[in-house]
Amino acid sequence: MPRIAVLPSTVADQIAAGEVVERPASAVKELVENALDAGATTVEVEVEDGGRALIRVVDDGIGMDREDAALALARHATSKIRSAADLVGVASYGFRGEALPAIASVSRLELLTATVDGDGIVLRSEGGELRGIEAASRRRGTTVSVSQLFFNTPARRKFLRSARSEWRAIADTLVSVSLTRRDVRLRVTSDGREALVLSPVRTLRERVAGIWGVDYAARFVDVEGVAGPVRVSGMVERPGDVGTGSRRAFLMVNGRPVREHGVARAVEAAYRSTLPAGLRPSFLLEVTVPADDVDVNVHPAKAEVRFTNKWGVDRAIEEVVQRALGTADAVPWVGRAWSPGMGGAGGSGLPEPTHPPVSVSQEPVRDGLFAAAVDAAPDAPPAPEAAPPIAVPDLMQLRRTYLMYEHEDGVILIDQHSAHERVLYERFLAALERGDAPSQRLLFPETVHLSPEDADAWESHAASFARIGYEVEGFGGHSLVVHAVPVPHPRFDALRCLRESLAALSGGRQAATHAAHEHLAATVACKAAIKAGDALSREEMAALFRQLAATTLAAHDVHGRATIVRLSWDEVERRFGRR
């Protein structure tokens, strides 16, 4: 007797159902996507008992005639493709021809459909077996009712979670669909209660506001850009609003909502030096690539994709997101929320002043605390002031800590230490990559004693310290002799900076070269920057403003704190009782 046998069709169908229909949310996703592929402009979803008792999806799409409706329950029957070549760049959500027959094989299914008003048919099946087909009256469109999901596979039904958990999964699925198809009206009821009603909207921000509220929508910065053949659009969370709670991550590739873990890493890479360790930003992104550069046929439920040039896509996402985080939109507001119709600020990282700029010297400041840190050597890289002149507002210093100026929508406050830290961080990081940081020889060499762990870190990263301007040699055991240090400054403790950097690098926590460079640049910038309480002259404030405006990520310092804050006129007037 042969040991290998062909499985009965009922068993094969149930195995296929296990791949496509993992839980009620999977069935909802497939049925709603079928409705959208049918051209529906309105989709209504009704669920009972978390989808375990009933799932009903009603649409106003093109419907089916009797012949197509019967074929729809056959495995691998589809209207989306005709040959293997059609799989390249397939634009429809469904194309495998497995979803509807897989759902039917593990449920009691009723399909009511019509291609013209009043002239329809109703088809019923149980466990994949056709029980009858007859004429019925219905407006153009399709209604699919799925009851008693997994009634004939008790082992699968046993693994379903509580009705609340299954409902949450369904709600998440429908939210994902609504974010993708913002042109469709969606109405959802659960156990007879209206749970979600979304009208068509024009923008992703309006859809987010409709689902989670305008306050949540105000937390995001608009993203729009092209890098090579990749177009990236959507929204990412403003660094100052990123919290420690759970985050929302949504990705759409060529109009299809999918999972791609590499994209999350690319987005997080764009936030480098703007967030404290451990915080993960929310994002809602739409990525468009050439159709032949992405394979959508790699997952039974079409939930994942594979890129031909994954590195190029990740790099494009990081670049476009970082560009968005460098605009004035990334500056947090106090007392103002987004509302429909409000545009983004865009432009550079600093909001433009309301009044004409003041007349201050465009020459680098050559004396004082600020100048000593940024203009340390004649052969240093050109300062941001060498770029086209930046309009400088009428700045004033508050408590020797904050710079303030007036904007059309409110008052702009700048933390002088955080701002200078951002300026120096980007300058030192560039110098580390080039290896041409200026240094100053010490009048008397200094000796530094290290722990064994820190000494190991020095052996591993000595070249990086040399690139930033430290001239150091071993002095036997775990001791070093320091002959020169980077950017000498009256308030810059170069030896402390060396010790703290080695302590952070010990144990291999910063093994990657670029990560080590970032940490060194951040540490040196923090120690060299002007501090709260340092009085700045008019020229020094203007120089700091110009340099901050020329940085890549002006809105936040390297520790994730805000560099700039916008206080809205609405909030000021509310405090004075004018609103």
* DSSP string over 280-344: ---EEEEEE--GGGEE--SSTTS-B-EETTHHHHHHHHHHHHHHHHTSGGGSPEES----TTPPP
Do 295 and 371 have their domain in common? Answer: no
Q: What angle do CA 354, 356, 360 make, to 5 degrees?
A: 125
Determine the Cα–Cα distance for residues 139 and 59; give it in Å rounded to an integer.
10
pLDDT at position 9 is: 63
Do 245 and 311 have their domain in common? Answer: yes
pLDDT at position 220 is: 93
Residue 429 counted as domain residue: no
pLDDT at position 93 is: 64
pLDDT along the chain (579 residues), means of 10: 62 56 91 92 97 96 90 73 52 64 92 93 92 92 95 88 94 94 96 94 94 91 93 93 82 86 87 84 93 73 77 93 90 63 51 62 42 37 50 92 90 93 88 78 89 84 82 85 75 78 66 67 82 90 91 87 88 85
Do 19 and 122 have their domain in common? Answer: yes
pLDDT at position 340 is: 44
Are 253 and 294 a contacting pair, CB within 8 Å?
A: yes
pLDDT at position 169 is: 95
pLDDT at position 298 is: 65
Question: Quick one: CA dihedral 20, 21, 26, 30, positive or negative?
Answer: positive
Alpha-helical runs (H) found in 354-479: 368-374, 416-434, 452-468
Nearest to 330 by CA among 234, 235, 427: 235
Residue 2 counted as domain residue: no
Residue 255 counted as domain residue: yes
> Of the candidates 295, 325, 355, which is a domain's last residue?
325
How distant, in Å, are the alpha carbons of 3, 187, 325, 419 from that of 224? Answer: 58, 30, 11, 26
Q: Which two tokens stand for residue 372?
A: 């000593």
Do 263 and 354 have their domain in common? Answer: no
Q: Which two tokens stand for residue 56?
A: 């009903």
pLDDT at position 314 is: 92
Do 568 and 481 have their domain in common? Answer: no
Indicate the number of domains in the chain: 4
Are 216 and 225 a contacting pair, CB within 8 Å?
A: no
Residue 478 is part of which domain span?
A: 439-486+492-528
Do 93 and 223 have their domain in common? Answer: no
Q: Which two tokens stand for residue 245?
A: 């709670």
pLDDT at position 568 is: 86
